Amino acid sequence: MANQLSKAELNRLARLGAQARLEQIDAERRAILRMFPGLALAGGRQVEAKASEAAPKKKGRKRRKMTAAEKKAVSERMKKFWAARKQQS
């Protein structure tokens, strides 16, 4: 079938397909903007939502501080560990 179509006809069909795809993309963009109204395009750059609309940032995992004695114990264990590894090789 493709061999039977002229170059002009193929070009016309390709243009129709491209136009349909652009309409789909535009509809998807509108749907996204409805879901996230804080997003907008200004001068080709994406503008973030206002600070009051932005989602709160996640806090990092809280870690318990090690005491000096705990640090010393870990240090001694690791020194023994690496000394044993060095002897094995």
Tokens read off for 63 = 């870690």
Measured CA to CA, the distance from residue 11 to residue 6 in angstroms comes to 9
How many residues belong to the chain? 89
pTM: predicted TM-score of the whole model, two decimal places: 0.40
Structure confidence at residue 81 (pLDDT): 97
Domain boundaries, the chain: 1-39
Residue 84 clears pLDDT 70, i.e. is over it: yes
52 secondary structure, DSSP code = T
Average pLDDT over residues 50-64: 71
* Token code pair at residue 66: 């090690």
Q: Check whether 6 has a pLDDT greater than 80.
A: yes
pLDDT at position 28, please? 94
| For residue 66, pLDDT beyond 70 | yes
